[in-house]
Amino acid sequence: MCQLCDVENAVSTHAKSKRNFLKTFSVSGLGLAGLALKDAFSADLPAPPKPENVLTPAAALERLLAGNKRYVSNGSRPFDFMRDREALVGGQNPYASIVSCADARVVPELCFDEQRGDLFVTRVAGNYASADIIPSLEYAALVLNVPLILVLGHQHCGAVKAAIDAVEKHQQFPGHIQTITTAIAPAVRATKKQAGDRTDSVVKKNVILNVERLRHAAPVIGKLVAEKKMIIAGGVYSLETGKVELVA
């Protein structure tokens, strides 16, 4: 039976009714239902498939930046698909979650010089913490014990340029693209009087705003941050150099 099926069975056992389930979830912080969820996933699991990924939040951030330094200096290690294949069949324990733009030029596993199973990557154009992204980050934090989330913006972001046009030129975009520009609009408005390159300013501010949103995201992530069990950081990737500069 799959893990999700196990969780659904565990939750239904502990919550006899929708009212009782909501009541238990509201009891302090993560809530009893949240703890039951974590227990359902983690019960009887073997040792982490990648023991080196069990890190403190500060150590996780240090490792990310060290990997980026290797990447920038062209010292990246070759991918070894065979090394961890057998271990990863039984589970995963990434040490960092990345909220990355969907831009094809930005590949977190490459720019941080990591292997399979090391990074839990969520991607959306404009790298913003949407209502669809946050549940995945909560899963990584609560179930996989990931101690770090990095919001990763990048130079010359097309989604940011579209947001600037939407706000300042009142341009409308087809389909659901307007959803992206609306999400990034607060960063556009917040940097209206800021000097320097317009796109670069909005890219940086968008990262900062989403870091702040995640630091206070209830009920899971904000509580872990308050307890110093998790760090939320933000960086901007340079397409020209490959370097990730922390901005939050």
pLDDT of residue 175: 96
Q: In this predicted model, what pLDDT tens digit does every residue of 105-160 receive, in sequence order?
A: 999 999 999 999 999 999 999 999 999 999 999 999 999 999 999 999 999 999 99
pLDDT of residue 15 exceeding 60, the answer is no
| Residue 19 scores a pLDDT above 80 | no
Q: What is the pLDDT of residue 30?
A: 56
- CA 179 to chain centroid: 19
At 144, list the tokens: 């996989």
Q: Write down the pLDDT at residue 10.
A: 36
Segment 159-178 mean pLDDT: 97
Task: Identify the CA nearest to 240 among candidates 183, 188, 197.
Answer: 197
Q: How much is the pLDDT for 80?
A: 87
pLDDT in tens, 188-224: 999 999 999 999 999 999 999 999 999 999 999 999 9
Taking the CB of residue 110, how many other CB atoms lie within 10 A of it? 14
237 confidence band (pLDDT: 50, 70, 90): very high
- Closest to 180 (Cα-Cα) out of 234, 127, 132: 127
At residue 242, what are phi and psi to the nearest 5 degrees?
Answer: 85, -5
Domain edges within the chain: 1-44, 50-246
pLDDT band for 246, please (50, 70, 90 cuts): very high
Radius of gyration (Cα) for the chain, nearest Å?
19
- Residue 16: what pLDDT? 37
| Model pLDDT for residues 35-81, shown as the tens digit of each residue | 555 555 555 557 899 999 999 999 999 999 999 999 999 999 998 88
Closest CA to 57 of 120, 150, 136: 150
With vertex at residue 113, the alpha carbon angle to CA 152 and CA 65, rounded to the nearest 5 degrees, is: 55
CATH architecture under which domain 50-246 falls:
3-Layer(aba) Sandwich (3.40)
**pLDDT 10s digits, 91-103:** 999 999 999 999 9
Position 83 scores a pLDDT of: 86
Q: What is the pLDDT of residue 97?
A: 99
Q: How confident is the model over 240-245, as a mean pLDDT?
A: 98
Q: What is the pLDDT of residue 45?
A: 59
